[in-house]
Chains A and B, each alone.
Chain A
Amino acid sequence: MAEEIAKRAELICRGLALGYENQILISDLNFDVNEGDYLCIVGENGAGKSTLMRTILRLQKPLAGSVLYGDGLTANQLGYLPQQTVVQRDFPASVREVVLSGCQSKLGMHAFYPKRLKELAQTNMERMGVDHLAKRCYRELSGGQQQRVLLARALCATERMLFLDEPVAGLDPKVTIEMYRLIAQLNAEGTTILMITHDIHMAAKYASHILHLGQEVFFGTTEEYRASKIGKRYLDDESAETAEMEEEVLK
């Protein structure tokens, strides 16, 4: 049984401790992510959600513990959708250029993108519905369009595992729901999703697993989360409200 799980696991975190020099945010964190999972990482600001994601992506080192990639997954198969940086706000780049840059890890020794990669970029732009914007300037797009472009770029880097750091931050409710649906659709097509979000209800609605960081740490399936004490406390807080809002927007 144990072997079977190990085989399917794409990501194994064992005894992770995260934080800064003198402040430990999280200690002894254990969880696995299996192929096809949809894991939402929730928790308050400063609970270490982004730090955790950066550690898994090997952008920073853990204080203790280890992150293992399983099932033949290597670092150049991780697609990342970071929070927007200041640089990007005035960067002159067309949508096509941005999406194509996702193919960079597949360049190998080539200096320029071969036709195969250009087609890959085109396909992903079409999947995300931004192909008609290809020649537009990235910084002139709306927030939702920008996120779609970045999703297309991440898809160019990988089909297997996407890391999304608050992909709906700053989007209006309608676009937010579209975004969640798009991500769910990608997950249904076989991409493993790891997502940081503030919206616990959306997480409970779409995700297969929840990782709740904070004073108490919870990891398990969404059903287990709903049944758990911590899950109940957070979900009951404002669940009615958000559900209503979603209904309204959809109408």
Chain B
Amino acid sequence: MSEIFDKLQMYFSYPFVRYALIVGVLIALCSSLLGVTLVLKRFSFIGDGLSHVAFGAMSVATVLGLTQEMLLVLPVTVISAILLLWTGSSKKIKGDAAVAMVSVGTMAIGYMVMNLSSNSVNVSGDVCTSLFGSTAILTLSRTDLLLCSILSGVVVVLFILFYNRIFSVTFDENFAKAAGARTNEMNLFIAVIIAVIIVVSMKLVGSLLVSALIIFPALAAMRVFKSFMSVTICSAVFSVVCTLIGILVSILYGTPVGSTIVCADMIGFMIFFVFGLKTGRG
């Protein structure tokens, strides 16, 4: 046991390890906040679709040799979010079908572009990183860390400011609209925030695993808690704790950081699930 602590202490003496932890916590916090809205508004498929779009954009950015991929990935994902929401609300094209088309299409393009370009030495390595996250959070660059923290911070602040409006548009959109709320703008706003969250969390866990980071905390919290406020707080805490455990385990045992975090989320969910059954709630 003391060996583990010694090892951790050694790692913590490096500033970049501490930065990584801080960023991990921030990403975990902001990705968990909108989980309830996503799950209940049946937006989860949009989240999943967007992560594939983000993968495609990431590949293109890598091939183009952009030093800061996020400058391309972020706008592309945000625009896709807006488009997907739009088509989802029109009845002519089925929303989920549109999402499936876009997400599969962008993934194919992304992989193709990566393969065709000869710039990259290690194609499968690059693809793997985009899909499942960096092999270790410690390999993230300083600008990555900075950008991630700023974006997560913005998301958290916006969420707090719009908390009440997000609640009412999630709970009963028709009522809110009849009472004069600008629900279309709110939906757009939520979609844009989701896009930002996905781009940010992709750095941590990779595009295939992003949904897990968003949805597990909310589902776990909903098993046990009964008010929107308590569910939101609980999912934030749940997400931060699981991410911390995931990062620490991955540092100690050299496991890939993204999948370790998701495994921690899964175990956490199971604990909450059992607890929910025992207390007869959920």
Contacts and interface: CB of A to CB of B under 8 A. Distances in A.
A76 B179 contact: yes
A97 B171 CA distance: 10
B180 A107 contact: no
B181 A91 contact: no
B179 A88 contact: no
B171 A111 contact: no
A98 B171 contact: yes
Contacts of A112: 163-164
Interface stretch (A27-35, A78-86, A166-174): A78-86
A92 interface: yes
Nearest to B162: A111
B64 to A, nearest CB: 40
Interface string B28-45: 000000001000111000
Contacts, number: 109
Interface in A41-100: 54, 57-59, 74-82, 85, 87-88, 90-94, 96-98, 100
A137 B171 CA distance: 13
User: Is the contact region of chain A dominated by helix, strand, or loop, or is it mixed?
Assistant: mixed
A79 B228 contact: no
Given A85-B172, A97-B167, A98-B171, A137 B226 contact: yes
Contacts of A93: 167, 171, 227-228
A59 B227 contact: no
Interface hub of A78, A93, A97, A98 (most chain B Cβ within 10 A): A93
Contacts of B165: 104, 107
Contact residues on B (Cβ < 8 Å of other chain), bracket: 20 to 34
Contacts of A153: 175
B40 A90 contact: yes
B93 to A, nearest CB: 15
A54 B178 CA distance: 9
B57 interface: no
B61 interface: no
A92 B180 contact: no
Nearest to A85: B172
B168 A91 contact: no
Interface of B: 36, 40-42, 160-165, 167-168, 170-172, 174-181, 221-222, 225-231
